[in-house]
């Protein structure tokens, strides 16, 4: 048996809901940041893992647009040297307007290190997945800017493509602390990435 609700009752009910259900913009100033995530030491194996250096180039990694990015480069360069000494494969990306020459000198690509070019998802329309599979890579260490751009979207695409993710939180700089926090939180808690991601720092990654 169908129950018919008088129109006046339904109207009052819907009006009551619209009057009480505040949207997120209206509640913006009441939001409290979640507790910081736990960071873990992690080991990666040569022959199983690779380092991704995404968009560390002049146009987007500079004091004007992302001041925290140049500050993060020395640690990236130090880890890059460690990765190369261990023979860990390294792959790069450019923004659509970038090139091999626009990558910042401390982390410049060597001639035999592939570079792909795309927007925020470096798997989309590129050969990155092909390059990784050719090296039998199962785990990617994601370093890149912006936190809410290449880092977030490429890490998510990597998870969707079957890779495990190591996320050093000190090498995914954004244009603001809020952007970095939101990106890290999204990757650690997102349904596409939560089960395959390890949050860490560059100096807590051991290469075996």
**Residue 13 predicted with pLDDT over 50:** no
Q: How far apart are alpha carbons 194 and 67 in whole angstroms?
A: 28
User: Which whole-number Å values give the CA distances from 94 to 24, 109, 154, in the listed order?
Assistant: 35, 11, 12
Q: How confident is the model at residue 21 (pLDDT cuts 50, 70, 90)?
A: confident
Q: What is the mean pLDDT of the chain?
A: 93
Q: What is the mean pLDDT of residues 115-128?
A: 98
pTM of the shown model: 0.90
**Token pair in block for residue 112:** 């035999």
Instruction: Domain ranges for the chain, please list them.
Output: 37-207
Overall fold of domain 37-207: Rossmann fold (3.40.50)
Nearest-5° Cα angle at 147, 72 to 177 = 75
pLDDT of residue 127: 98
Residue 70 three-state SS: helix
**Residue 15, pLDDT above cutoff 70:** no
């Amino acid at each position: 048996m169908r129950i018919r609700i008088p129109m006046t009752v339904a109207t009052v009910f819907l009006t009551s809901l619209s009057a009480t259900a505040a949207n997120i913009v209206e509640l913006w100033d009441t939001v409290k940041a979640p507790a910081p995530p736990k960071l873990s030491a992690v080991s990666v194996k040569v022959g199983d893992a690779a380092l991704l250096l995404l968009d560390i180039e002049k146009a987007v990694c500079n004091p004007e647009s992302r001041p925290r990015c140049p500050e993060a480069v020395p640690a990236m360069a130090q880890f890059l040297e460690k990765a190369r000494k261990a023979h860990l494969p390294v792959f790069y990306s450019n923004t659509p307007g970038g090139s091999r020459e626009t990558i910042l000198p401390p982390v410049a690509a060597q001639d035999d290190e592939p570079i792909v070019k795309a927007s925020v998802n470096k798997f989309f329309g590129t050969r990155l997945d092909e390059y990784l599979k050719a090296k039998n890579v199962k785990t990617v260490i994601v370093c890149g800017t912006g936190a809410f751009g290449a880092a977030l979207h490429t890490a998510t695409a990597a998870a969707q493509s079957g890779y495990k993710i190591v996320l050093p939180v000190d090498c995914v700089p954004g244009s603001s602390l809020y952007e970095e926090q939101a990106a890290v939180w999204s990757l650690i808690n997102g349904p596409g990435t939560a089960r395959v991601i390890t949050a860490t720092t560059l100096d807590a990654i051991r290469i075996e």
